[in-house]
Structure 1
Amino acid sequence: MQYHLEGNGRCQRKYPTYFHTSHPQLCGYMRHSPKWKQVSAKLTGDNKARSIKSLQNTSKGFQKGKMTTGGFGGHFRAIQGFKYLGNEEI
């Protein structure tokens, strides 16, 4: 991550790294580390009914006669996003 942050990667451009996790200990570590900055937090899941409808609309024409019943969301898992700052000052 530091390699890309310094501009040594693709096209010699500086690219930040974003990381999303729901692991409580990992979130705690990153929140207290000077190399990471918390940039987002979502404490509840998305609307599962909306997700199912979206998946059904997407699958039309691909799976004729099959109905999608599964979806994403509807859970209460906190997802938190972090940006890698590396050795830069905050």
Structure 2
Amino acid sequence: MSRYKRVRARAVGIRYERGGYAPWVVARADGAAAGRLVRLAGERGVPVLRDRTLAESLCLLDPGAFVPAEYWEIVARILLAVKDIKL
């Protein structure tokens, strides 16, 4: 018996437009589809950051749903980091 718990991969795409109410989920996937989503993002030049806890929480949301206020600070930090990467 393995001592390690296998964790299912999850990926979430988020978007924010300046002046908008909040960031929203544009895509979500788990398992093999999560790997494909990450690969597709990379192929299109979309930065990918890894945060398992945040991904697990945001994967519960449907595409089009706003990110809940409790996650705004961490998502804002991620979006600022991405902005710096793209410059």
Q: Indicate the TM-score class for this superposition, using the shorter chain for normalisation.
A: under 0.3
Higher-Rg structure is 1
Greater relative contact order, per chain length (Cα 8 Å cut-off, separation 6+): 1
- The structure richer in helix per residue is 2
